[in-house]
Amino acid sequence: MFKELRDTLNAYKARDPAARSSLEIFLLYPGVRAIRRHRCANWFYRRNLKFIARWISNGTRRRTGIEIHPGAKIGKRLVIDHGMGIVIGETTEIGDDVLIYQGVTLGGTGKDKGKRHPTIGSNVMIGSGAKVLGPFKVGDGARIAANAVVLEEIPPGSTAVGVPARVVRIKGEKVDYVSEVDQISVTDPIATELIALRQEVKRLAKLLEAQKDEAV
């Protein structure tokens, strides 16, 4: 337990330039308090003492502005920066070394049963105001931009932006949605429109070339 706490405090120091001491982080950072209390609530939740678990989590929300359902599974060294307005749903699973900024929602869409909330891989960063909604996985090392709305799986090492979110980088390389049209499947409406325009330009170019040949 003490090793886990020490590792968490060190993670805050590494990721928050404003952090000055372990004592300050332990006593004053709402993210640390929320995680400590969640561990306790989750202990009761797993033993089917769900009223006590919810009572603890509700108290945490009032004190920190961070709402974590006691059923959520959270890995090691989670860093919650600022934290106000964060909501983490019951069936959410979070890996190790994750960084979450304020206003993030890890929730459901209301359409699913059982596993309703996302699984967040290790070493993931989720920007301020982002919403990750549904029972899919955000891969290890992914980056979710501020205010993005993620509605489908994000591959490992990817960067996702926009509403709805789309992958713009994979392992540092830009994703070109309008090249090699026949080899990709795109659900983003903007990318779909760009692909359609590219196909139309190709069709018109072939038609113009054919007319030139006939004229000759």
Average pLDDT over residues 202-213: 83
- Best CA proximity match to 119, nearest among 83, 88, 84, 147: 88
Name the residue with higher pLDDT: 21 or 1.
21
| CA dist 50 → 33, 68, 90 (Å) | 20, 14, 12
State the pairing for strand pair 158-161/99-100.
Answer: unpaired
pLDDT at 132: 95
Domain range list for the chain: 2-175, 179-216
Average pLDDT over residues 68-77: 95
User: Residue for token digits 């591959």?
Assistant: 155
pLDDT at 179: 52
Q: What's the pTM value of the predicted model, to 2 decimals?
A: 0.76
Q: What is the CATH number of domain 2-175?
A: 2.160.10.10
To which H or E segment does residue 204 belong?
helix 189-215
pLDDT at 181: 42
